Structure 1
Amino acid sequence: MIFAEAIVTKNEPGLRLVVNYPDGHKVNASAVNEGEAKRLVYFYNRLYISDTLTHWLNQRKNVFTHVNDPRSADAEVLISQVRNYSKTSLKQLCELVIKKEQAISGIAPGTKSRHYGNYERLIIPIIRFCKQMKGIEV
């Protein structure tokens, strides 16, 4: 299972990967075989998820800090947890996301906020993907 669209083409020698993420981010990579290609896709998915969540959480923390909202502490805890899990497996990172879904939703902008679109476009798909990952051996 992949979070992004991965296009694999045979290249002499090996395989060429193009991984396209929902936000337009693109990764190009080469692999010697299908097993390595799969590992690279999982690696890039983990990297994308941890980087995207960390960036979004930092934005939320800054907003809360600026308006003196106590949710800045919640955002800080989530940032620390995502950073701690960023070097683990994709499955472990997704387990954290599922476990912390309510906390993530708790610091999301309101539906009328101009920033809600980022939450809907970036974070909700990550949560959905992680729920799909549950129970899948990687």
Structure 2
Amino acid sequence: ILGWLLIASIMLSNLLMICMARCTSPISYLQLKFWRTYVQEESNLMDSYSSKHAKELAERNLKSFFNQQPPENISTPSNRAWKKISSLYKFSTKDHYYSTIHRYVEESCDNDLMKIASVKSSGTADNIPAALSFVDDVRMA
């Protein structure tokens, strides 16, 4: 009986913590739903762009090898850029972005026309809501 009570109390406390985290989150349900959709779409597009780019690079290298010609130029992100988009994403309501790629593009963009002012807010918050645990999760395919 004590074991079942322990299991039930752990489950109940976890449920209460999840409810409290979602109720006190600065993010609305619709924004959270949008973020989940955005992250899924970005992940799908990243997979397709990565596959396409890797195929082009492999074709270029094989053509260069078999034809004994210098390889043509293909633009690939630098190691520094890959490290920046691979870092852990931390939410902030001051200048929130939807992912590390979103943050990288917005921060490294020199053209003011490409900046999107609507994705930044003027509020401040240093805590990271538990409701955003899905952001930048590793996708198993």
TM band (smaller chain): 0.3 to 0.5
State the structure with more CA Rg: 2
TM-score in terms of structure 2 length: 0.36
Comparing both structures, which one devotes a greater share of its residues to strand? 1
TM-score in terms of structure 1 length: 0.37
Greater relative contact order (CA < 8 Å, ≥ 6 in sequence): 2
